[in-house]
């Protein structure tokens, strides 16, 4: 049976429980049409790059699916009819990824603090005072106005 990765975006004003119920509904449709969900990951409420139907954020959910194409067509049809689903994407894959997806690994890494301090530049050494190679500035007299102005040499 073909393998798919299916991701859908749900509206930001839904609760997590409502998103889980929507996932259960989609899983039921797949199972009724001869498929099964191998893995289900809720990625959380994320900011979108651009507004979709006046939503700046959305709930993201990944489903690793093993199902015939007709079952996925029915799921996508139901998502088009459902007002809570903003977007969806289904991709056929050769095999499913073992363990957590890249999105989940990224959040685990951020939580543990493995990124390090992004401003730590220990390999550069001290830069010294600012303006050292720019030359010294000294005041000069402007002949016509009689005011002092700063000049760079």
In this prediction, residue 105 carries a pLDDT of 78
Overall average pLDDT of the 56-73 stretch: 94
**Residue 142 located in a structural domain:** no
For the chain, percent of residues with pLDDT exceeding 90? 59
Per-residue pLDDT at 106 exceeds 80: no
**Residue 141 located in a structural domain:** no
**Residue 87 located in a structural domain:** yes
Domain count, the chain: 1
Q: Per the structure block, which two tokens stand in for 57?
A: 């954020």
**Residue 19 located in a structural domain:** yes
Overall average pLDDT of the 124-143 stretch: 62
**Residue 25 located in a structural domain:** yes
In this prediction, residue 64 carries a pLDDT of 93
Overall average pLDDT of the 64-93 stretch: 94
pLDDT grade for 67, boundaries at 50, 70 and 90: very high
Indicate the pTM of the whole model.
0.67
Per-residue pLDDT at 152 exceeds 70: no
Dihedral of CA atoms 75, 77, 78, 84 in degrees, nearest 10, equals 110
Overall average pLDDT of the 63-86 stretch: 94
**Residue 127 located in a structural domain:** no
> Strand, helix or coil at 37?
strand
Task: Answer whether 7's CB lies under 8 Å from 101's CB.
Answer: no
CATH number where 32 lies: 3.30.70.60
**Residue 71 located in a structural domain:** yes
Range of the domain at 68: 3-112
**Residue 137 located in a structural domain:** no
Report which DSSP code applies to 103: H
């Amino acid at each position: 049976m073909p393998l798919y990765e299916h991701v859908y975006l749900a509206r930001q004003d839904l609760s997590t429980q409502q998103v889980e119920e929507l996932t259960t509904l989609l899983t039921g449709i797949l199972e009724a049409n001869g498929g099964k969900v191998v893995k289900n990951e809720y990625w959380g409420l994320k900011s979108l790059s651009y507004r979709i139907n006046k939503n700046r954020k959305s709930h993201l959910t990944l489903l690793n699916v093993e199902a015939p194409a007709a079952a996925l067509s029915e799921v996508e049809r139901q998502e088009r009819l459902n007002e809570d689903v903003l977007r969806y994407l289904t991709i056929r894959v050769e095999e499913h990824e073992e363990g957590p997806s890249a999105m989940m690994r990224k959040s685990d890494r951020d939580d543990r603090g493995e990124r390090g301090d992004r401003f730590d530049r220990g390999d550069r050494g001290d830069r010294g005072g600012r303006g050292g190679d720019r030359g010294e500035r000294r005041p000069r007299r402007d002949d016509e106005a009689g005011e002092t102005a700063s000049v760079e040499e």
